[in-house]
Amino acid sequence: MKTENWKNVKLSDICILEKGSQIDTSLLDDSNPYRYINGGIKESGFFSDYNTEGESVLISEGGASCGYINYVNEKFWCGCHCYRLHDIKVFPKYLFHALKANQQRIMNLRTGSAMPNIQKSTIQKFELNIHEKLETQKKIVAQLDKCTSIIAKHKQMVEKYDTLVKSRFIEMFGDDPIENGKWKVETLGSNLIAIDNGKSFVCSDSMRKGKYPAILKLSAVTYGEYNQYENKALLDEDMFLKNVEVNQGDLLFTRKNTPELVGMAAYVFETERNLMMPDLIFRLNVKDDINKIYLWKLINHPIFRERIRNLANGSAKSMSNISKERLQTLKIPVPPLALQNDFAAFVQQIDKSKFAVQKSLNKAEILYKSLMQEYFA
């Protein structure tokens, strides 16, 4: 239990919060020297002038990125949808990490649905548990920065492997495998044996321990890579159903998600036992003329994503849904199986190298989360 040299403070006790300034966004141009940051993690463009310099901590005040935390150490223009924190009485990068550790609590301060925002009077009262000694703050930052640097490098390597696969896909099948006219085009349904449904259960909020039965979260497939650690333990192990267990070699498909992410697929290279598909995920069982790895990369490829999204419907903009019937009408190019298999072999070769990097990345992320928990919980 943290006691000595640790104290709870309100954000307003250790800094001054001030909103940035609005500009005429028509003046933004990539040739300008200063980043224009107006809420999100990245810049929204480049401006000819700056209103902030040095180490800066930002909290997004409104819009889609409302509640996100940013750290900038350069001259830039802070937009009107950011709170910039200045006259900071602790080490600035330490405050950034402390806020990041409490990201979800800050997100919970948002009000409004169409245009969420965080009131200044609310965020000023936000409480943090901080260490009073500057030297200790710097040591904590050094540890966390080392972790984030390792994470960033591993993510860059993973992205390079992904880029290699995308490039090989275009090299083998063309910029648009349907429009290039080289391959026969058929409906997905005519190349499927069946589409399996997942199940819906009331589960624990926590990840399972060991091999205890669990159900996957939607996030286990959402980003196009199978992540078996995104799961929730069942309340009772007798609820487990063998017929919806995820198996090695499965091709999983998200039938429901946000409009941008609906219809993503993930191929299961390997998986632990006793993990079930949720009802938001389909399993695609293909016929002999289709290689699952080829279909996986086709579904997720940027050149094909718009066709997938066009299958979705639903009244709520936040969640789109693709029915079995509509999914089966999807037109797909069907190159010779030998070519699909050659591509799949390349993907599997790349995946072995990527797996080692991903394993190191997962360890670094777990370490980072544990340090954040230790220092800021």
pLDDT tens, residue by residue, 281-312:
999 999 999 999 999 999 998 888 999 999 99
pLDDT at res. 304: 87
Residue type, 119: Q
Average pLDDT, the chain: 92
Bridging pattern class, strands 76-78 and 34-37: parallel
pLDDT at res. 178: 85
DSSP characters for 190-212? GGEEEEEE-B---B-SS---TT-
Sign of CA dihedral 120, 125, 127, 128: positive
Q: Per-residue pLDDT tens for 303-347?
A: 889 999 999 986 555 689 999 999 999 999 999 999 999 999 999
- Which token pair is 286? 């293909």
pLDDT at res. 135: 95
Give 167's pLDDT tier (boundaries 50, 70, 90): very high
Domains identified in the chain and CATH numbers: 6-129 (3.90.220.20), 184-334 (3.90.220.20)
Give CA–CA dist 239/122, Å, rounded: 43
